[in-house]
Copies of this chain bind each other. A is one copy, B any other.
Amino acid sequence: MGGGYGWHCLYAAEHGARKVIGTDISQKMLKVAKEKNCFPDIIEYRQQAIEDIQFANASFDLVVSSLALHYVADFAQICHKIYACLTEKGQFIFSIEHPVFTAHGSQDWCCDSSGAKLHWPVDNYFNESARQTEFLGHKVTKYHKTLTTYLTSLLTAGFSIERLIEPQPADYLLDKIDGMRDELRRPMMLLVVAEKA
C-alpha cells in the first residue's frame, strides 16, 4: 500500500511470492513501477488511495506499507480492512514516521544561533490532527497519531503485536553520511509487525 516505485513488490516477487498487488495513489509513480516490472505475471499495479483499498476476505498472506500510513487520517479503519483481507496468521508489516517525529510539526531540530542541533522538539503530542510539512520541496499533509492510537487500532482490529522496532542507522554508516549520528538522538521511524490472530 503506497508502494511508490514498487521496490517491495519486486522484492516479494524475487523471493517467491506467487502473486503481488502493488497500490499507490500516484499515477506518475505507478508509471515508473510498471516500467520496472520484470515480473508482469506476478506483480499487478493498481492506482488506489490507501483509504480506498477493498480486497476479498482472506486473500493476502502479507500486507506491506513503507512510510505511507502517516499520510492517512484514519488508521483504525485501515486496520479493520487489512485484518479482513489477510489469511489466518497473515502479517501486516509497516513502517511509519515515529510519533516523536511527527508531533511538533516542524520536523526540524531545535538549533542554537550558530545552527548547532540542540535537541529534537516534541509538542502537541496528544493533538492528533493534520501537520503541514515539506517533503522534497512540496507541501504535504501528514497526520500525527500517538503511539497509543497506532497500537490500540491494531489490537482492537484483532491483530497481535509481533515486533516493534525503532530503527537505528547501522554502525558503518554513522561516520559515512553527514548527519547520520544525529539519527541516534531521536527516533524517526517506527516499524511494526502485526499478525492476524
The tally of residues in A whose CB lies under 8 Å from a CB in B reads 32
Task: Check if B166 sits within 8 Å of A161, measured CB to CB.
Answer: no
Task: Check if B120 sits within 8 Å of A186, measured CB to CB.
Answer: no
Q: Which residues of B have CB within 8 Å of A152?
A: 163-165
Nearest residue in B to A163 (C-beta to C-beta)? B155
| A26 adjacent to chain B (CB < 8 Å) | no
A162 in complex: contacting residue of B155, B164, B166, B168, CB < 8 Å = B155
**Bound Cα distance A123, B161 (Å):** 27
**Bound Cα distance A172, B125 (Å):** 19
Most chain B CB within a 10 A radius of its CB, from A152, A184, A186:
A186
**Bound Cα distance A146, B167 (Å):** 11
Q: Which residues of B have CB within 8 Å of A104?
A: 119
Q: Which residues of B have CB within 8 Å of A125?
A: 100, 120, 166, 184-187
Task: Check if B187 sits within 8 Å of A166, measured CB to CB.
Answer: no
Task: Check if A168 sits within 8 Å of B126, measured CB to CB.
Answer: yes
Task: Check if A148 sits within 8 Å of B165, measured CB to CB.
Answer: yes
**Bound Cα distance A104, B148 (Å):** 21
The residues in A between 150 and 171 inclusive whose CB is less than 8 angstroms from any CB of B are 151-152, 155, 160-166, 168
- Contacts A110-B121, A155-B162 given; 8 further ones with Cβ under 8 A? A100-B100, A100-B122, A120-B122, A120-B123, A123-B185, A146-B187, A147-B164, A147-B187
Chain A residues within CB distance 8 Å of chain B: 100, 103-104, 110, 118-127, 146-148, 151-152, 155, 160-166, 168, 184-187
Would you give 14 A-B contacts (Cβ < 8 Å), ordered by A?
Answer: A100-B100, A100-B125, A110-B110, A119-B122, A119-B123, A121-B121, A122-B122, A124-B184, A125-B187, A126-B187, A127-B184, A151-B161, A151-B164, A155-B163
3 smallest beta-carbon distances between A and B, as pairs: A119-B121, A119-B123, A120-B122
